[in-house]
Amino acid sequence: MTDTRATMKGEGGADTFVLVHGAWHGGWCWRRVADRLRAAGHRVFTPTLTGLGERRHLMSRAITLDTFTEDVLNVIVMEDLSDVVLVGHSFGGSPISGVADRMPERIRHLVYLDSLITQPGKTAFDALPPDGVAARLKLARESSGGLSLPPPSAEAFGIRDADDIAWVTRHLTPHPLGAYTSPLAINGPIGNGRPCTYIGCVDPLYAALDGSRQWAQQQKSFRYVEMAAGHDAMVTHPDDLVRLLCTLAGESSAL
């Protein structure tokens, strides 16, 4: 990395980041980003959502979007966190919206990293193209009797390096289907009045998120920026992502 420690801390000094992974992933996927942020003096938490990653033994038909929201809420509460820069990658955008609805006073800035935007009262499947939903439901039935969605290839996330493909492939786990079919139970708008940034990863585009990117660009309450990276930018472009996150954190601390 070429950034200095002072530059990466931004205007506000040491920041607190909670990084929430997407579908089929786990807290492990943030390793490169978390290492860099911690080396710069920041506090970083990378919770793994129920049923995924090292918590795959908890896979259950009872898992919903509310479960994921509680996963993240409990980390913030039990670690006594405040002034949090809360980052949600891909499917992780849904639970961070839930957290902002429940405890906006703990959140400084919400960052939706190439995220699926689930609307209040709607399901994650409602935000995806119908043909993609039908294909995923078919895969869930055939692979697990409707319990979970099997992971796609690592290449589907824009990963090209052979070593990265092998690493990600070893760690991907099935995703609880109930998290896709249950509604996002929030009372206010997405973001709940907190500063929000959507980071679109555009090289290459993850086509399933076109609708979410377009929605974010149309919101006056959202800042929209782009990265020349594939969907799993935290794996393929950790330095660029860290620089961007630190910039956003520094700017929001000055508000």
End-to-end Cα distance, the chain? 28
182 in catalytic set: no
Task: Tell me how far CA of residue 155 lies from CA of 171, 176, 222, in angstroms.
Answer: 14, 21, 29
Is residue 77's pLDDT more than 50? Answer: yes
- The per-residue pLDDT for 150 is 98
List Cβ neighbours of 188 (8 Å cut-off, separation of 6 or more). Answer: 101, 120
Q: What is the average pLDDT score of the chain?
A: 94
Q: How many angstroms from the chain centroid is the CA of residue 46? A: 10
List Cβ neighbours of 176 (8 Å cut-off, separation of 6 or more). Answer: 50, 51, 52, 59, 60, 61, 63, 67, 147, 148
Kindly provide the residue ranges of all beta strands, DSSP E only, lying in the chain, ordered along the sequence. 16-20, 43-45, 84-89, 107-113, 148-149, 175-176, 196-201, 222-227
- The per-residue pLDDT for 6 is 34
- The per-residue pLDDT for 251 is 80
Q: Catalytic pick from 90, 97, 148, 182?
A: 90
Least confident of 27-41, 105-119, 156-170, 239-253: 239-253
- The per-residue pLDDT for 85 is 98
pTM of the model: 0.94
